């Protein structure tokens, strides 16, 4: 479960809690200008210690409407995010579990905001390296590498972008250190953006196969309990008044 949560976190790095995207600053304060792409199909591969542990395919109508299918070679799970609501199901289970997740929602849902948002999620204390020209699938790109290091582990974000601002690939990696201080790769999530600006329409599961999780039910129950306690206190006060009489 811990591994799954970590992978899921890295897949949405930059989405959770980031509502406004900020321009990414590259080496020597050169601002990266991202092409205003609208939609995308993406293939994502996650590796741990060099071994492939998960393969995903996703379609993005926007940052607030996307569909993700992942196979970790033990199980398949499917996720849909649509206008504040996250739907998840395992394998061919006909039932989807849904939860309202406004924290995953972008105010500006244009797809190209994903990349500066991922960069912004690393925080302000980030080292940026321009690694220069890199050929990705026959396409010339510039590779920018962003390092966030807390002294124990490092999160590294690599982005491969064309001269006209189109992102061809990005890589999110978690790195640690061995006893000798050498960097070791713990986890890596590589996304290849296969096609942009194609017709993609994301739908939601039918209402009769969706079970909503009421994340506020516990607090409501607590409030009810508090109300009951208050009523009991009032009754006790009334009894005391009767005794005084």
Q: Report, as an integer, the average pLDDT of 146-173.
A: 89
Query: Strands 210-212 and 51-62: what pairing?
Result: unpaired
Q: In terms of domains, do 225 and 190 share one?
A: no
Kindly state whether residues 208 and 233 are assigned to the same domain.
no
208, 226: one domain: no
Q: Whole-angstrom Cα distance, residue 203 to residue 60?
A: 11
Q: Map tokens 């960097």 to a residue.
A: 183
Q: For residue 240, give its domain range.
A: 216-245
Residues 201-215 have pLDDT tens digits of 999 999 999 999 976
| Total count of domains within the chain | 2
Q: Around 199, how many Cα atoms within 13 Å sit in the side-chain half-sphere? A: 0
Q: Can you give the pLDDT at residue 200? A: 96
Q: For residues 67 and 170, state if they share a domain.
A: yes
Q: Average of pLDDT values for 87-101? A: 94
Would you say residue 47 has pLDDT above 80? Answer: yes
Based on the fold, state whether residues 224 and 149 are members of the same structural domain. Answer: no
SS3 call for 157: strand
Same domain, 26 and 47: yes
116 and 197 housed in the same domain: yes
**55: CB partners within 8 A, 6+ apart:** 43, 44, 45, 46, 70, 71
Same domain, 113 and 40: yes
Pair 184, 234 in one domain:
no
Decide if 99 contacts 214 (C-beta within 8 A): no
Which residues are paired to 52 by β-bridges?
A: 47
What are the phi and psi torsion angles at 69 (to 5°)?
-125, 125
Mean pLDDT calculated for residue range 143-170: 90
Residues 112 and 202 in one domain: yes
Average pLDDT of the chain is 80
The β-bridge partners of 67 are 59, 80
Average pLDDT over residues 53-60: 94
Give the separation between CA 125 and CA 143, rounded to whole angstroms: 20
Q: In this structure, are strands 154-161 and 139-149 parallel, antiparallel, or unpaired?
A: antiparallel
Least confident span in 151-165, 194-208, 210-224, 229-243: 229-243
35 and 99 co-located in one domain: yes
pLDDT grade, residue 77 (50/70/90)?
A: very high
CATH number, domain of 92, equals 2.50.20
| C-beta of residue 194 within 8 angstroms of C-beta of residue 56 | no
Q: Count CA atoms closer than 13 A to 19's CA, side-chain side.
A: 5
pLDDT tens column, 97-128:
999 999 888 888 999 988 888 888 887 788 89
Asked whether residue 56 falls in the same domain as residue 120, the answer is: yes
Cα dist from 168 to 80, 118, 162, 164, whole Å:
23, 15, 7, 11
pLDDT at 1: 37
């Amino acid at each position: 479960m811990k591994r799954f949560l970590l992978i899921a976190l890295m897949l949405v790095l930059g989405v959770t809690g980031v509502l406004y995207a900020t321009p990414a600053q590259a080496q020597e304060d050169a601002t990266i200008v991202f092409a205003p792409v609208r939609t995308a199909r993406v293939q994502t591969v996650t590796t741990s210690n060099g071994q492939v542990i998960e393969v995903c395919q996703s379609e993005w109508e926007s940052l607030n409407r996307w569909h993700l299918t992942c196979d970790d070679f033990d199980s398949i799970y499917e996720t849909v995010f649509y206008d504040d609501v996250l739907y998840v199901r395992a394998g061919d289970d006909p039932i989807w579990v849904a939860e309202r997740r406004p924290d995953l929602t972008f105010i500006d849902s244009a797809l190209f905001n994903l990349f500066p948002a991922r960069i912004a999620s690393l925080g302000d204390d980030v080292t940026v390296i321009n690694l220069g020209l890199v050929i990705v699938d026959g396409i010339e790109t510039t590779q920018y590498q962003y390092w966030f290091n807390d002294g124990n582990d490092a999160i590294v974000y690599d982005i491969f972008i064309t001269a006209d601002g189109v992102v061809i690939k990005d890589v999110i990696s978690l790195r640690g250190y061995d006893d000798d201080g050498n960097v070791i790769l713990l986890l890596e999530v590589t996304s290849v953006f296969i096609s942009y600006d194609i017709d993609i329409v994301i739908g939601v599961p039918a209402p009769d196969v969706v079970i909503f999780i009421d994340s506020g039910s516990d607090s409501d129950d607590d409030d009810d309990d508090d109300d009951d306690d208050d009523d009991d206190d009032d009754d006790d006060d009334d009894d005391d008044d009767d005794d005084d009489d």
